[in-house]
Each structure stands twice: as structure tokens, then as C-alpha cells.
Structure 1
Amino acid sequence: MKRTLGFGFACIVLVLGLLTACSGGGNSKQPSSGQNDSAGTSTNAPQNQTDNAPADEPAQEQVTIKFHTHGVEQQYNWSETIAAFEAKYPNIKVDLVTLSEKGDSQEALQKLDLAAASGEQLDVLMFSDPASYAQRVSIGMVAAIDEFIAKEGFNVADEYRVDTTLGGKVYALPGKFNPWYVLLNKDHLDTAGLPVPQDWTWDDFARYAKELTTDDHYGTYFHGPQNGGWMEFMKLHLGNRLDESTEFLKDDGSSNLDSPLFRKTLELRWQMEKEDQSAVPYADMLSQKLHYRTQFFNQDASMILIGSWMNSELGGTEQNPLDHHVAVAPYPKNDPSDPIGVTPVTTDFMAVAEKSKHKEEAYTFIRWYTTEGLANYGRNIPSWTRVDGSSLEKIIDSILADTLKPELVDKASLIHVLSNSKSGKIIPPVSYQSEVYKALNEEFELFILGEQNLDDTLKNMQDRVQKIIDSNK
């Protein structure tokens, strides 16, 4: 979409499009007082009064900011986190708006766009993926925060392990640092006589899946792509490159679909599902609406490639109890000589709404949350670079302690993977990235369902994506 579109019209167009588809710390400066024109109240934390201000200073007027998120309490510990923030900044109250009770990011995006189109108060916005973040920046929903960063005087690249820059400006700070890894049913591995991998390739992954497959379960389950989302499962071999593009587009905006690694991913998906029969069929995923959590915790699949947001559930939850031992392996490499631990990394993009009347207060919250907030109260590893190795085990212990059976988790393998994880080259997303995803997803389905061969699939993908690129120049 063009930035010249009016904000309201652009949001309405985006909403209609979505509805037709599926699916710092302590050096942050105290914000200046803002006009309190919000009637919202926090549902999470106790009331903090402004009479906590020093006696020789005038009490600051209390401001309420609304925080719209897809994140749920179980995974993010909002109640304790927001209470801690409000205790430190008693003039700022945070009204949490949970957009999906299931933590469904697509449902949350639809509701967020409806809220924006209807003129509701927006202050802090949380996006779960680069494409959603870039698209809302392109329509003017998100404010640049460079002035606040400059005022505070820090370098984003030094402070955080994930780059959120778009077009030379910073519109968000990264929250969690979630490298992708492989969850393993250790009981299944022991039965098959397979060790927990500490360094392996995609060939090893395919061999493990084949050896783990029995009459009772598959070796692995791929949760995507589907509905233009979960596209990580279409770039398996692309995902662990340090100096080359890990995306479908290169950093100059040109297509990366002619990469041999992209072809190898499609070949691997076909081999594992059709030839080895070690992966849950794609058609079953769609028709039965399968989910990676139930596939793993119900022991229907021995290995799950997924992001480490699963740390908070590894020991089992009330929704997904755990009855087997769990181990963790690193993201597989392309070649044995490749460095270990290079993996796709996901984060939460913590942003300030362009229409917010309390931008400084909103920035204060996202800066605090992405630093000491996550480090001390969150249930995810922060992107903040000040969290070193000595702090990692304490954070993991805290995360696992909130699960039902932490003793069933091989903590040593988890620490090994997380401490050695590093992000592959991050390519800033383009505003039309969702169009690219949709086209690729549609062609992949024709391929994996046996309706067109690999060569035709690659040609159609390249042609369709090039047309999208050309139309957005």
C-alpha cells in the first residue's frame, strides 16, 4: 500500500483484506506528564498512586496507556510484569488488551486493525512477525521512535540482538529472543537407540525422522506453510545462513527463489512426506486442523521444529500435559562444516502507535519491558544483550518452574542450544511481504498435494513473486 493513503482508509482496506483470508534497563528516563484523557484501567496490577513522588517535586499526572497484544498470561506473565512496571513508574498505568484468548497472532491482528479503523485508543502495539510489523508501518499505524532513542543515547545494535530497522528508522524494540530449535521425544529416541544431537545436518534430521517413525507415530510434523503463515517451513535450508539471505527476498528487494537452498527445502519436504513417509502428511494438517503442540505432547510426532517460545511449555501445561521426557537439539545445518547454532530468530516487535497521545509514556513502557522487564519477570529469553550466559540458567529455571513437570525436561540440552544460538542474516521485511507469502503458499500446496511437479512449482513461484516485486516498485 502507498503511504499516501489516509490512515483510516488504509486500515479499513487492510481489515477487509484480512477478514477474507484465513486465519534498558534502569537508565530509561521518567516520561513527562501527559494529558489523561483515557478512561481505561488496568485489569492486571494494583493501583499505584502518584503520591509516591518525592515531597519536593510536584506529583505527575497519571496517564493510562493501552497495550494491545496477542500474548496471553501463561506465556508472558503480564500480571507480574505490568505490576512491576507500574511500581517503578507510578504515573503510568497500563491497560492490557488481550486480542486473542488463544494467543492466536492472526486473530489478534484482525482485531487490532478493526480497533485502529474504528478510532479506538492505541498506545503500545505488539507484533509477532516481521511482515505484520512492516505492513503496519507502511500504512502509518506505527510511530518512529528514533527521537526517544537519541534522547536516551544508546545504540540499538549494541543493546539488542535483533535488528528492527525499516527504511533507516526504528519503529519497534525487540522483545523476546526466540531461536528456532528441534524438540525431541527423548523416550522415542531411547527406544530407537538414537542420541540427542548436539550438532547435526538436515540429512541427519531426515534420517532420525525415518528411524523414529513407527505404526504409532511419525518421525516429525511440519506446521506450515498455511494460509500465508508459518513460512519458516518453506525455507528450511535457507534458515541458517550467516552472510546470505535467509528470506525469499534478498536485502536489495530482489527474488531469492533461484537459490539452490530453496529448491533443496522443497525436495526435502517431498522426500520426507512422500518417499520416507516420516512426516505427517500436509493434507492431514489442513483437513484435520492439526497443531504442533498436540502433535508433540500427544506423542503423535517424535520431533518438532519450532521456535523457543515453547520454553514456557516444555514441562507440560494444563492444556497440554507432558507424559514423556523432552530434549532439545539445535537447528540442523546444511553442511557438516557450517557453524553450529545459526538459526531463524523470532521476536515480538514492541511499538508505539502513531495516533497515541502518550508516545513518551508508551516508549517508556516498551523500553523497560524489552530490558529489565523481560529479564526479571518475563517467560522468554530477552533480545537485550545485557543478559549474559551466567543469567541464562536462572531465567530457564524460572521458566521451567512454572510448568507441571520440569523434571522431565533435559535442561542441559536446552541450555546448550540456547547458549549457542545466533541469528542468521536478518533481511528487513518489505511492506508487501504478505503478498509474497500468499503466492508461495498457494504454489507449495499444489506441489505437495501432487498437482504440479517441482520444476513447474519453482517457475510459477519465481514468476508470481517477480510480478509482485515489479508492481510495488
Structure 2
Amino acid sequence: MNKKWLKGVLSGALLTGLLAGCSGGDAAPEGGSEGKGVNLRLYTYGTEEAYNWKKTIASYEEANPGITVEVVNLSEKGDTAEASKKLDLAAASGEPMDILMFSDAAGYAQRVALGMAEPLDDYIAKDGYKVEEDYKIDTRLDGKVYALPGKFNPWYVLLNKDHLDEAGLQVPTDWTWDEYAEYAKKLTKGEGASKRYGTYFHGPQGGGWLEFVKLMMINQPQGADYLKADGSSNLDNPNFKRTLELRVKMEKQDQSSVPYSDMISQKLNYRTQFFNQSASMITIGSWMNTEIGGTEKVPLTFHVAVAPFPKNDKGDSIGNAPVTTDYVSVAASSKHKQEAYDFVRWYTTEGQVVQNKNVPAWNQVKEEEVTKIIENILAGTKNPELVDQQSLVKTLLASKASELVPPASYQAEVYKAINEEYEKLILGNQNIDTTVKNSQERTQKIIDSNKK
């Protein structure tokens, strides 16, 4: 793994503490979870409300007498940044820990680089399954598995079903970006301040939401990011330029997407753009499952349907999309590694169904189980009857993640540079070829300076 990861991640004192904490772990015992009186400590950012821990843990403890699981909640608000800081401090001070949850690929890869997570390959081989076959997300880093994926939050397209019906359009079950652009054109209506746009793209902005400048990269099985796994540039990928062409065509030529200048100057939000019916479609993550039926703050007054993330070409496989998950690991410092692994495997499979809060990344989950989970999620919204539940379930079942590219330590710098070049393009200050060239050159400079 790229040693640059270690640079600036944690202080020297913390790193020393981490390594001291990690060195005391026992070798994995040969047997399963048969030892009596084993207490496993699970460090998580997940709140009781969001993760249903009491019910989930009770189910496991009942099936595994002698094993208790103690949930160490690192943030009462479910704030992942706060939780990450507290986790690092707990590791540095040598607190006993057995199971760790990371909220994003960067946090997962950083802590693997620091030796906090135990490789799980031997346990997996003993159990006789393959991560890439059993789960929708491949969590490998440098060829090794350090976590199993919990929830499965792919990106998808939210559609105003009333607007679709009005335009005589079907809810797509398999479509391309060209078709998405055609839909956006047909859904655009009116002029001036009251104009309704076919779609709204919530980025890039301020070095964030960079998914929106790689729409035709992140739906590919491999090479889905601006950087490759070895930290080198991936901006010669033709799908980077194709994304720029798509964004320019839709905003400037078709005038079917909300102008970038409006998003920035008016500080627009994707929720209000969609729920106020200012835009008929938004491409966004399925963390929106808890909101698409409407909330107290943002009510729903129309019918909503869901479509999969678009493909680039007709022949591409359906369902590849950006995905967020929980990376559930065994702590390298755990004195109960086998028992911790057994819990991690259960939690990321049957445990996800018991938890009944998120769609699992486990491939063996049945359609009726996903339907039940979705029913439970939508029941917490104001108007679940307005959501086309079948289109949501079908989209989630069809979705799958691209290959994980561990983020480089200089990723934020690359994002900022690409964001700036995109702004010059979309605001009319340079053409597409110049944008690609400048993005490539600036990214290479950042890579070179970080190698020194």
C-alpha cells in the first residue's frame, strides 16, 4: 500500500500507541465461538436509532451462549468525523477492542495502513466463500480482505413519476446516459424563474461532490476514479472527457439541467430541487431511502419512482454505481479474533436482515427480505404510499459496486484541482480539450510533489 497514507494521518504519539496496541493480539484460535464468557467490544459510529443495536445484538447473543457484544458508541449524533477521532484516541490509549466499523473507503484504507485491522483471508478461506461472490462490494486492499461490508447504499436516480406520466415516459429499468439526457430534455418545461428542469446535478462544489464530474467513470467495474490503485493518474480515461461532454451538452445545448452558476450562487440543495419539483430527476445516493416518502421538514406531494444509475453504452452491464457501505473489521489488537470474525461474518449476512434498517451488501439476501426492509424504512416517512416501492427494490437488487480504489493521501488536492478546471469549463472560460489537458497536468504535478 502507498506509504503516503501514513503521512499526516495521525500524530507520532498516536501511531506509537496504535502499534503498541496492535502488537499484543493473540493468534486466531483454531475453533469457532465456543469459549464461555467472551466479551466482544464493537466500536461504531452507528446510533441505536439508525442501527437497531439492542435487537441485533440480542439475536446474536441468544444464538451464541457465552458471547456478549458490548457496543461502544463513538458519537451520539452518528457523526462519522467525531467517531473517527474517538476511535483513533481509543486505539492509541490501548483500549481493548475487537470489532471496528469504518464509514468510508478512505477511513478504512487509512486504518488498514496503520495496522489497526486484521487480515480476514484465512478465516474466509476456512469458511469456504469468496467475498466478491458473497457480497456486492469487494473490500480488498492490496489483494487482502480487512473488512466485510455491512449495508449497501448504491447511487440511483429519483424520478418525479407525475412528470414522467405527463410526458408519456416509462420508469426506466435499464438505460444509458444518452437516454437520461433525452428524458431530461422531454421533462424540461417553461422559461425564466418558473422553469422546471429535467435534472439537477449537485456538484462539483468546493472540492466535494466530485462524483458529478466522473458520472461515466463511476459506473465502470474498474478504473472508476480519477486516480488508479497505485496513486497514478487515470485522467487519460476517455470516460472522463465523455462526462464533461455530457454535462456541457445537458446544461448549454439542451438547457435541461439546472445551471451550475445557479447551484453555486443560490446555494441550491438537491433535496429541495427535487421535492419542490424544480427538477424532475436527481442522481443521488440511496441514503435518501429514509426521506423519499417525505419528512416533516421536506414533505412529499407527488409520486416518486426509482431507476438504476445509467450505463455509458447499451452493451455495458446494468447496475454498476458508486456505493457507500460500512466496513466491518476485526481489530488487530483483539484477544478474541475468531469470535470477533464470527460476529463480523454473521452481522454482515443474517445480522443485516435482523437489523432491518438497511439493504444488505450480502448477495444471498432474498428479494422478499429486501422488500421487508424497504417497507420498514418507508414506514418511517410521512407518505410511503406515494413511493413506487417495486421500482426501488428492483433498482437496489440490480445495483453493484465498482472495484474499490484506495484513496491516496493527496486525493483532496486532486479533487480541488479538477473542480477548479470544471468551473472554468462550465462557466464558459475554456473548452473541453483544455479542461482535460489542464486537469491531467495539474493532477500529475500533485502526484509528483507527493512522491518527494
The letter for the 2-side match of 1:231 is L
Matches within 5 A, 1:391-470: 391-424=369-402, 426-432=403-409, 434-435=411-412, 436-470=414-448
Q: Distance in 1 between matches of 2:224 and 2:136?
A: 16
In the TM superposition, what is the alpha-carbon distance from 1:196 to its structure 2 partner? 1.7
- Residue matched to 2:291: 313
Of 47, 71, 82, which residue of structure 2 is paired with 1:95? 71
Q: Distance in 1 between matches of 2:157 and 2:128?
A: 38
Q: Distance in 2 between matches of 1:221 and 1:104?
A: 27
- Residue matched to 1:24: none
Q: How many residue pairs end up in the alignment?
A: 429
- Residue matched to 1:20: none
Q: Distance in 2 between matches of 1:187 and 1:336?
A: 27
- Residue matched to 2:134: 159
In the TM superposition, what is the alpha-carbon distance from 1:350 to its structure 2 partner? 1.5
Q: Deviations over 1:185-222 (max 9, x none)?
A: 11222233332223322122123223333425432222
Q: Distance in 1 between matches of 2:14 and 2:196?
A: 45
Of 353, 361, 370, which residue of structure 1 is paired with 2:348? 370
Query: Structure 1 residues 194, 253: CA separation in 2 closer, same or farther (over 3 Å shift)?
Result: same
In the TM superposition, what is the alpha-carbon distance from 1:276 to its structure 2 partner? 3.6
Which shows bigger deviation, 328-337 or 246-255?
246-255
Of 193, 197, 201, which residue of structure 2 is paired with 1:218? 197
Q: Distance in 2 between matches of 1:361 and 1:230?
A: 39
Matches within 5 A, 1:329-408: 329-356=307-334, 359-389=337-367, 391-408=369-386
Matches within 5 A, 1:126-165: 126-165=101-140
Of 306, 314, 333, which residue of structure 2 is paired with 1:328? 306
Aligned partners of 2:219 and 2:320 also within 8 Å: yes
Q: Distance in 2 between matches of 1:403 and 1:290?
A: 23
The letter for the 1-side match of 2:213 is M
Which shows bigger deviation, 463-472 or 323-332?
463-472
Q: Is the aligned partner of 1:191 residue 2:161?
A: no
Q: CA RMSD in A?
A: 3.5
In the TM superposition, what is the alpha-carbon distance from 1:64 to its structure 2 partner? 5.3
Of 160, 172, 175, which residue of structure 2 is paired with 1:200? 175
Aligned partners of 1:65 and 1:358 also within 8 Å: no
Q: Is the aligned partner of 1:303 residue 2:281?
A: yes
Of 43, 51, 76, which residue of structure 2 is paired with 1:67? 43
Q: Distance in 1 between matches of 2:368 and 2:135?
A: 18
- Structure 2 alignment gaps of length 5 or more: 16-29
Query: Structure 1 residues 356, 290: CA separation in 2 closer, same or farther (over 3 Å shift)?
Result: farther
Aligned partners of 2:175 and 2:314 also within 8 Å: yes
Query: Structure 1 residues 212, 460: CA separation in 2 closer, same or farther (over 3 Å shift)?
Result: same
Q: Distance in 1 between matches of 2:297 and 2:50?
A: 13
Query: Structure 1 residues 269, 355: CA separation in 2 closer, same or farther (over 3 Å shift)?
Result: farther
Q: Distance in 2 between matches of 1:213 and 1:2?
A: 47
| Secondary structure at the counterpart of residue 412 of structure 1 | helix
Aligned partners of 1:92 and 1:361 also within 8 Å: no
- Residue matched to 2:19: none
Q: Distance in 2 between matches of 1:469 and 1:307?
A: 29
Percent identity, aligned pairs only, is: 57
In the TM superposition, what is the alpha-carbon distance from 1:371 to its structure 2 partner? 0.7
| Secondary structure at the counterpart of residue 407 of structure 1 | helix
| Secondary structure at the counterpart of residue 171 of structure 2 | coil
Query: Structure 1 residues 97, 229: CA separation in 2 closer, same or farther (over 3 Å shift)?
Result: farther
In the TM superposition, what is the alpha-carbon distance from 1:29 to its structure 2 partner? 7.2
Q: Deviations over 1:146-190 (max 9, x none)?
A: 344345454323322211111122111111233321011112222
Q: Distance in 2 between matches of 1:449 and 1:108?
A: 38
- Residue matched to 2:52: 77
TM-score (norm 2): 0.80
- Residue matched to 2:214: 235
